[in-house]
Amino acid sequence: MRSLDLTPSGIRADPAGSAALLRTASWLVDTAAATPAEPAASLSCSDPDRSAFITVIDALVAPT
- Return the pLDDT at 31: 92
Return d(Cα 7, Cα 18) in angstroms, integer.
10
What's the pLDDT tens digit per position in 6-19? Answer: 788 988 998 998 88
With 70 as the cut, is the pLDDT of residue 63 above it?
A: no
Shortest CA distance to 18 belongs to which of 30, 36, 9, 6?
6
pLDDT of residue 64 exceeding 70, the answer is: no
pLDDT in tens, 25-61: 899 999 999 888 887 777 767 778 878 888 889 888 8
pLDDT for 29 equals 92
